[in-house]
Amino acid sequence: MKDTRLDRDKLSAEEKCLVAPCGIFCGACDSYLGKSSELAQEMHRILDGFNIIDASLVAGFEQEKMADFMNILKAMGQTDKCTGCLGGGCKVPACPIKGCAQEKGFLTCAECDKMPCNKSQELGMSWEMITKRYSHWNVENLQRIREVGYPEFIDSMQKKVKSGFMTGDVISKEMVITEMIKKMQGQG
């Protein structure tokens, strides 16, 4: 008998975009929610209206650094909201985890009987890096999906998000991406 909790066909297209194959809940990510982009726009508007670059000397800031900061704010304010990993928003163009799940016909790794797998060598550093960056939250999510199914997992996560939870609450403070890039470049 098929486990209907993992029946992804019962999910709407929007709901399918809320969970990445690796277990990250995209619906809690700031890139998906767009809060930092909106706040950056507002902060840029306020500081630009105050002509902060001119006033920065009075505040004890270097004008060149303030101009760089203003350019960063402007760029952050112009970023588009992410549509979720499965909605085409993933910034990793050829994510091997997503590719593996899709090749097997799975929405997430929770559907795979080998999860949690030890494919970090086959998948490059991606599985190890993601799990470390998200403090194993993604694996916990996949295990929770197995326990309660997609609908209940998504509902509970959406409630957490409405209460203020964001992915940033679980992201490691370690320089995980920087370490991975250095390893790939043979520097670490």
Higher pLDDT, 156 or 2: 156
d(CA 94, CA 86) in angstroms, rounded, equals 12
Select from 92, 141, 94 the least CA-distant residue to 115: 141
Longest CA–CA separation in the chain, Å = 72
pLDDT at 122: 59
Confidence of residue 124 (pLDDT cuts 50, 70, 90): low
What average pLDDT is seen over the chain? 85
List of E strands, 47-115: none
Confidence of residue 95 (pLDDT cuts 50, 70, 90): confident
132 by DSSP, 3-state: which? helix
pLDDT at 160: 97
pLDDT at 84: 84
pTM beyond 0.85:
no
Q: Do 86 and 24 form a contact (C-beta atoms < 8 A)?
A: no
Q: What is the mean predicted confidence (pLDDT) over 59-83?
A: 91
Residue 1 has pLDDT above 50, yes or no: no
Residue 169 has pLDDT above 90, yes or no: yes
Q: What residues pair up with 25 in beta bridges, in sequence order?
A: 19
d(CA 154, CA 19) in angstroms, rounded, equals 8
